[in-house]
Amino acid sequence: MAGKGGATPATYSPSPTTNRKKKPPIFKEDWVRPDGRGFHQCRPAFFRTGAVNAASGSAYAEFGNTKVIVSVFGPRESKKAMMYSDIGRLNCNVSFTTFATPIRGQGSDHKEYCAMLHKALEGAIILETFPKTTVDVFALVLESSGSDLPVVISCASLALADAGIMMYDIVASVSVSCFNKNLVIDPILEEEIGQDGSLMITCMPSRYEITQLTVTGEWSTTKINEGMQLCLDACAKLAKIMRSCLKEVASDSQE
């Protein structure tokens, strides 16, 4: 049976209004993705830590044309208005630059993205290690080209590891789109516009635990299982890339 998404389904990126009118062609077996990738092939991933000097930790990530930079500040003193807390506190903020989308617009905060980033990260951070203090995560999307939130989450976990925040595991995130009966992993903006449904998984690969699962649109049970397995495999590969990035920077600093 078809399963509906959550109460407040969230779109992954602002959808340009003019593009909604032109429908992408109906899916065919011989259809090729706009950037030439296979259905189960992710975009090339590039990570770099230490991009922002003033921050305790920072990371820069590129997935194809999606470019994200994340800064982590803290642990630092909580604001005086906040209640006392025996465990640490995590604040997340996700914003887009005015030039991030094809239609130039106000660089606005996306409240639902902030909430989803917070949910994805708080399960992986050991909050008891910094009581009464706050860790602030600021994510800035420099260019939006589809699947922005998974890139933001992966980049944020890399920035937290760079800042020396204790974590249970690195957090990797991948999303998949559904077209009729076919699954397309790591969709770009053109594919997201015409999708029937989307699935995003955030997991801790070495512990094989999921910190967040977001489903929108209509999915059958077998398709959800297939999509989840596809995302988990991609997350495991992505985590290897992230670990090699952390080790490379650390060994460079040692030299």
Partner 1 sequence: MEEEKEAVMVTPGEVLGRTSDVKAGRGAYAALHNNTVYASLTGFRHTVPPAPDSSDLRPTVEVTGHKAHGPVPQPGSVVIARVTKVMARSASADIMCVGPKSVREKFTGIIRQQDVRATEIDKVDMHLSFHPGDIVRALVLSLGDARAYFLSTAKNELGVVSAESIAGATMVPVSWTEMQCPLTGQIEQRKVAKAAS
Binding flag, residue 114, partner 1 (CB under 8 A): no
Binding flag, residue 169, partner 1 (CB under 8 A): yes
Among residues 65, 182, 206, 225, which is the contact residue for partner 1, using CB under 8 A? 206
Binding flag, residue 168, partner 1 (CB under 8 A): yes
Query: How many whole angstroms separate alpha carbon 49 and alpha carbon 59?
Result: 4
Query: How many whole angstroms separate alpha carbon 22 and alpha carbon 190?
Result: 11
Stretch that binds partner 1, among 38-46, 125-133, 177-185, 226-234 (CB under 8 A): 125-133
Binding flag, residue 253, partner 1 (CB under 8 A): yes
Stretch that binds partner 1, among 35-43, 103-111, 168-176, 213-221 (CB under 8 A): 168-176
Binding flag, residue 77, partner 1 (CB under 8 A): yes
Query: Could you give the residue ranges of the DSSP H alpha helices within the chain?
Result: 17-21, 111-122, 148-162, 189-193, 221-254
Binding flag, residue 159, partner 1 (CB under 8 A): no
Strands 89-96 and 133-143: parallel
3-state SS of 170-225 is CCEEEEEEEECCEEEECCCHHHHHCCCEEEEEEEECCCCEEEEEEEEECECHHHHH
Nearer to partner 1, 136 or 143 (CB): 136
Within positions 172 to 201, which residues make up the interface with partner 1, using CB under 8 A? none
Could you tell me which residues come within 8 angstroms of residue 92 by beta carbon, excluding any fewer than 6 positions away?
A: 114, 115, 117, 118, 121, 137, 139, 156
Query: How many whole angstroms separate alpha carbon 1 and alpha carbon 27?
Result: 22
Within positions 231 to 250, which residues make up the interface with partner 1, using CB under 8 A? 239, 242-243, 246-247, 250
Binding flag, residue 33, partner 1 (CB under 8 A): no
Among residues 83, 106, 181, 252, which is the contact residue for partner 1, using CB under 8 A? 83
Which residue ranges make up the site for partner 1 (CB under 8 A)? 56-57, 73-78, 80, 82-84, 126, 130-133, 161-170, 204-207, 239, 242-243, 246-247, 250-251, 253-254
